[in-house]
Amino acid sequence: MTNATRMQPDKTGSFRVPVAEAAKGGALTAISRSDLVWLVFAGVVAGFMLLPVASLLVMALEPAGDVWGHLIGTVLPRSLVTTALLMLGVGAITLTVGVGTAWLVTMCRFPGRSIFDWALLIPLAVPTYIVAYSYVEVLNYTGPVQAAIRAVFGFKTSREYWFPEIRSLGGAIFVMGFVLYPYVYLTTRATFLLQSACTLDVSRTLGAGPLRLFFQVALPLARPAIVVGLSLAMMECLNDIGAVTFFGVKTMTFSVYDTWVNRSSLAGAAQLACAMLVIVFALLWLERHARRRQRFHVTTTRYIGLPSYRLTGARAGFAWAACATPIALGFAVPAWPLVDYISRRFEALADPALLQATWNSLTLSLSAAVMTIVVATVLTYAQRVNRNGGIRLLGRTASIGYAIPGTVLAVGLLVPLASFDNALDDVTERLFGFGTGLLIVGSGAALVYAYVVRFLAVAYGQVEGGLGKVTPHLDMAARTLGRNSLTTLREVHLPLIRPVLLSAMLLAFVDCMKELPATILLRPFNFETLATTVYNAASRGAFEDGALPALLIVLVGLVPVILLARTSAATFRNRRGSRVS
Amino acid sequence: MTMSTLAGRLATAAAGLLTATAFALPASAAGEVNIYSYRQPELIQPLLDGFTEKTGIKTNVIFADKGLAQRMQAEGENSPADVLMTVDVGRLDGAKALGVTQPVNSEIINGNIPAEFRDPEGHWFGLTTRARVVYASRERVEQNAITYEELADPKWKGRICTRSGQHPYNIGLFASVVAHKGEKAAEEWLAGLRDNLARKPAGNDRGQVQGIYSGECDIGLGNNYYMGKMLTNEKEPEQKEWANSAKILFPTSAEGGTHVNISGVVMAKYAPNREEALKLMEYLSSAEAQQIYAEANFEYPVKPGVEASELVRSWGSFTPDDLPLTEIFAHRKTASELVDRVGYDDGPAS
């Protein structure tokens, strides 16, 4: 139960706490000018985020040919089940591993804990398409594992022994689970760190043992954070095409591309993608609905060192193994074949194209990450300025791009952007006698735009969660002191949620580094990122030549990942240190 | 540092980066040709280098495996694309159907490329052909000839490996079966092939050769040039070993020869550098370029008189299926539906 937090029934409830009323910055009837400006601004921003979705809807309205008879008759019943199983399986792994390790490193003391604290995030830097390739390299017949088995038992061919097939639904669940669990780990760990120490202290005083504390207090309290991480991991299953294709797992996204490429029906593909969006919406809504009566605020600013359990002996060993295993499976194993290939290709390091690709990846990802948190802040703060349900819905809808298969999203973005470019070209041609040509399409700006649409969800959940923890008392106080919505944001909220913003930005950065499908289709001429360099090699069946850029994606991604863990941990340590007196 | 200055600095940095990336574009000046390519950059680079050396015309490339025709369509009159290069006739015809191509009537090109490899209306041109062949274990497969019909024969039960049935290369092959035998017979054949699979279809064409090497399967389906690439892979010599475990058989059918597909090129409807694009297309059909295709990529040149590489010739000659490519590829949709209907990608029914 979550009655340890302050529970306020919302509109649907029977009573309201006056504070919450005041925190709205006045009643709905009297929106201040600054609030109105903010809301309009947020509406425009949300419009930009929803543009490709709208464009997708328009595409879906085109005649699709007779694709649906086939889809419903033969494809969907199976691909729905496959997709559901993939999402559930990955959900189960990410949930268990993510929450379990987060609890261990925040609540227990054991050897290596301070390293695991950040190292558990490392698999986040490994793209799923690379991890899929790598695992096949390691586990297939010619890989080291089977070679060792054959050497030990004297087998000659693969028919003489049984070995699990990694290119299967089970393999996909395993592989994706162990690179995606950091989403859950990151959000849950932050919440465990933030969880009001008082709550946990009270629970302990009331005699709750470690297990009860975990299952009955900490876990329900962390639910919103866990859901944020979990839904990211599960949506990643939905939009992934690289890993599932390589593993031969026919998810709905696979069918979207079949419908488009082999059955020449882009409209049918768009309709299928829209149907997927409806499912995502339904799931998210169900979850929100289930906890609609709960509110999660931090009620104290006193961060005391969390109660910790000192583990020794076998227990410490178990904790160590529980933390080391996901890092090994999500990072060390897939990195190994990469290193092996690179050892035979050191000369590739001197390739100037590689340096250029690294630079392109870095600048694009950084720009997009910054834009992403700006957009996320604008949209989430709008909910705070005015708790109108429509605004909340708009914000959440705006971050739905994450669930759309990348190439489909890119096509959705192309149409409105190119129309804009062509219209502008027409106008300037008429007015000034020269055309602007295609201004945005085929530029870095189009890529940044696509990244923000794709990865807004990554930042949105975190920023929303961060703002949600700031008690509405503060808004009220700031307004009483004459601050408007903008100055309140600048002077009160932004400083308070700075660690959250930073972590949201770093997370978006890592995702942008890994991004492939939208980059491929929207990029300018002669433009390569690290991800497209890997893709070029893999697309001609020579993954080994893409090993170096692949490892670079991982290494560059590691920097923010480590920063991510360090900064947030440091923030909490400092706060605790300064407040305890 | 307070939040606002942090945000300020980040915003400035972002704005700077945006401008930098937005203008880091090649201007489409004279003496350039812009290429949208479904073909892998490494495979066309030797040709583009040869073209630039000969004409001084610079080439700019965007490579993607899907959506380039849609991008051209969205970009409309301002599209910078001059030509679109593709890996199969399906996309050549698809581009034409989408209205993003223009007809080209060049005596040079028409002289170089036989009529069966170009669009009668001049919208697309084939540049190379590749055969969809059978890789067969040298150790475990004795026969040196095979038919497509035979692939569904129960004698191969548990012995065949392929990549996903939905991959365009397999769709092309299956479409040719539909074209020759009709939908019903093709469905039966495909179900038979599925029952003979050793495992669930997965991986790429090279992976099927590896499957033969590992003993997982005895025959696999793949394009001929992957064998060439593997046999000459100096960086990963173990791939040579895999490839040496298999031989190439050119399958035939009761109705015709081996299924071939073409890689090709179209000129964009609004090509801003039409002249340069024409020069490129003429160059690609020339003996010099056709020779590069043959030697570097192990494909079959379309220009009569240009020979395949020595390695490719060592695999023997074959008779390509003579049904017009467009006729075969009209059945792509049916082929794709059949793959789903028989559950091809689920692997053998146990």
The reported pTM is 0.84
Residue given tokens 């261990």 in the structure block: A104
| A443 vs B21, B66, B67: nearest CB | B21
pLDDT at residue A263 in the model: 82
| A258 vs B13, B24, B336: nearest CB | B336
CA distance B9 to B6: 5
Model confidence pLDDT, tens digit, residues A186-230: 888 877 877 656 566 666 677 767 777 777 777 888 888 898 889
Of A65-74, A95-104, A534-543, B14-23, the range with the highest mean pLDDT is A95-104
The distance of B319 to chain A (nearest Cα, Å) reads 26
The distance of B287 to chain A (nearest Cα, Å) reads 25
Per-residue burial over A315-334, b if 16 or more Cβ lie within 10 Å, else e, is ebeebbebbbebbebbbebb
Residue range B130-259+315-346, CATH number: 3.40.190.10
Do residues B280 and B164 make contact, with C-beta atoms less than 8 angstroms apart?
A: no
CA distance A138 to B286: 44
Do residues A400 and A457 make contact, with C-beta atoms less than 8 angstroms apart?
A: yes
Q: Where are the alpha helices (DSSP H) in chain B?
A: 3-23, 41-55, 68-75, 89-98, 107-112, 168-181, 183-196, 205-214, 224-231, 238-244, 274-285, 287-297, 310-314, 325-329, 332-341
Residue given tokens 């929100």 in the structure block: A288
Domain ranges of chain B: 31-129+261-310, 130-259+315-346
Largest CA distance in chain B: 78
In single-letter form, the type of residue at position B331 comes to H
| A541 vs B18, B26, B206: nearest CB | B206
pLDDT at residue A305 in the model: 53
Cβ distance of B3 and A490 shorter than 8 Å: yes
- Residue B125's φ and ψ, nearest 5 degrees, are -135, 130
Q: Which residues of B touch A266 (CB under 8 A)?
A: 70
Cβ distance of A410 and B67 shorter than 8 Å: yes
The pair of three-digit structure tokens given for residue B203, joined into one six-digit string: 């991986």
- Residue B64's φ and ψ, nearest 5 degrees, are -155, 150
Q: Count other C-beta atoms under 10 Å from residue B24's C-beta.
A: 14
The pair of three-digit structure tokens given for residue B86, joined into one six-digit string: 């593709």
pLDDT at residue A88 in the model: 95
B42 touches chain A (CB under 8 A): yes
Q: Which residues of B touch A539 (CB under 8 A)?
A: 40, 65
Closest CA to B128 of B194, B223, B33, B64: B223
Closest CA to A76 of A224, A294, A205, A250: A250
Confidence of residue A487 (pLDDT cuts 50, 70, 90): confident
C-alpha distances (whole Å) from A260 to each of A74, A267, A268, A273, A298 are 16, 8, 7, 11, 48
Q: Count other C-beta atoms under 10 Å from residue A529's C-beta.
A: 29
Q: Count other C-beta atoms under 10 Å from residue B324's C-beta.
A: 13
| A494 vs B4, B166, B235: nearest CB | B4
- Residue B245's φ and ψ, nearest 5 degrees, are -80, -10
| A536 vs B42, B168, B332: nearest CB | B42
Q: Report the residue of A249, A262, A374, A488 to disrupt the B interface, i.e. the one with the largest count of B CBs within 10 Å.
A: A262
Q: Report the residue of A55, A168, A261 to disrupt the B interface, i.e. the one with the largest count of B CBs within 10 Å.
A: A261
Mean pLDDT confidence for B272-300: 95
pLDDT at residue A201 in the model: 67
In single-letter form, the type of residue at position A66 comes to D
Closest CA to A567 of A502, A475, A481, A484: A502
B10 touches chain A (CB under 8 A): yes
Residue range B31-129+261-310, CATH number: 3.40.190.10
| B22 vs A360, A444, A542: nearest CB | A444
In terms of residues, how long is chain B? 350
Size of interface A-B (CB pairs under 8 A): 213
Would you say the CATH fold of B130-259+315-346 matches that of B31-129+261-310? Answer: yes
Residue given tokens 């947020």 in the structure block: A42
Model confidence pLDDT, tens digit, residues B143-185: 999 999 999 999 999 999 999 998 889 999 999 999 999 999 9
| A261 vs B66, B76, B204: nearest CB | B66
Model confidence pLDDT, tens digit, residues B93-106: 889 999 999 999 99
> Scanning every residue of chain B, which has its alpha carbon at the shortest distance from the alpha carbon of A257?
B66
The yes-or-no verdict on residue B115 having pLDDT over 60 is yes
Cβ distance of B11 and A263 shorter than 8 Å: no
Interface of B with A in 290-329 (CB under 8 A): none
The distance of A274 to chain B (nearest Cα, Å) reads 18
Q: Which residues of A touch B236 (CB under 8 A)?
A: 341, 344, 544
Coil, strand or helix at B99: coil
In single-letter form, the type of residue at position A168 comes to S
Domains and CATH numbers, chain A: 62-293+321-337 (1.10.3720.10)
Q: Is A433 left (phi over 0), alpha (psi -120 to 50) or beta?
A: left
B8 touches chain A (CB under 8 A): no
B70 touches chain A (CB under 8 A): yes
B199 touches chain A (CB under 8 A): yes
The pair of three-digit structure tokens given for residue A580, joined into one six-digit string: 């305890």
Residue A302 DSSP class: -
Tell me the pLDDT of chain A averaged across its residues. 82
Residue A10 DSSP class: -
Cβ distance of B21 and A447 shorter than 8 Å: yes
Largest CA distance in chain A: 82
Interface of B with A in 222-241 (CB under 8 A): 226, 229, 235-236, 238
C-alpha distances (whole Å) from A565 to each of A57, A182, A226, B187 are 39, 11, 17, 55
Which has more confidence, A53 or A346? Answer: A53
At residue B163's C-alpha, the angle toward residues B162 and B166, to 5°, is 120
C-alpha distances (whole Å) from B106 to each of A335, B122, B269, B280 are 51, 9, 16, 12
CA distance A383 to A389: 8
The pair of three-digit structure tokens given for residue A503, joined into one six-digit string: 């972590």
| A525 vs B42, B60, B341: nearest CB | B60
The distance of A444 to chain B (nearest Cα, Å) reads 5
Confidence of residue B311 (pLDDT cuts 50, 70, 90): very high
At residue B240's C-alpha, the angle toward residues B234 and B246, to 5°, is 160
CA distance B61 to A497: 44
Q: Which residues of A touch B25 (CB under 8 A)?
A: 442-443, 524-525
Closest CA to A168 of A250, A280, A64, A257: A250
pLDDT at residue B8 in the model: 52
Of A201-205, A491-495, B26-30, the range with the highest mean pLDDT is A491-495
Mean pLDDT confidence for B1-9: 47
Q: Which residues of B touch A78 (CB under 8 A)?
A: 343, 346
- Residue B130's φ and ψ, nearest 5 degrees, are -135, 145
Residue A230 CA neighbour count, 13 Å, CB half: 20
CA B122 and chain centroid, separation: 20
Confidence of residue A485 (pLDDT cuts 50, 70, 90): confident
The pair of three-digit structure tokens given for residue B231, joined into one six-digit string: 């046999």
Cβ distance of B168 and A262 shorter than 8 Å: yes
B18 touches chain A (CB under 8 A): yes
Residue given tokens 């703002």 in the structure block: A467
pLDDT at residue A570 in the model: 58
Residue A3 DSSP class: T
Q: Report ipTM for this prediction.
A: 0.81
CA distance A531 to A535: 6
Do residues B335 and B176 make contact, with C-beta atoms less than 8 angstroms apart?
A: no
Confidence of residue A24 (pLDDT cuts 50, 70, 90): very low
Mean pLDDT confidence for A463-490: 82
Residues 6+ apart with CB under 8 A from A160: none
Model confidence pLDDT, tens digit, residues B34-72: 999 999 888 899 999 999 999 999 999 999 988 999 999
Q: Which residues of A touch B68 (CB under 8 A)?
A: 521
In terms of residues, how long is chain A? 581
Task: Name the least confident of A294-303, A531-540, B283-292, B318-327.
Answer: A294-303
The distance of A494 to chain B (nearest Cα, Å) reads 6
Task: Report strand pairing: B246-249 vs B124-137.
Answer: antiparallel
Question: Which neighbouring-strand residues pair with B260?
Answer: B131
- Residue A418's φ and ψ, nearest 5 degrees, are -65, -35
Model confidence pLDDT, tens digit, residues B198-244: 988 888 888 899 999 988 899 999 999 999 989 998 878 888 999 99
Cβ distance of A371 and B64 shorter than 8 Å: no
Mean pLDDT confidence for A76-81: 88
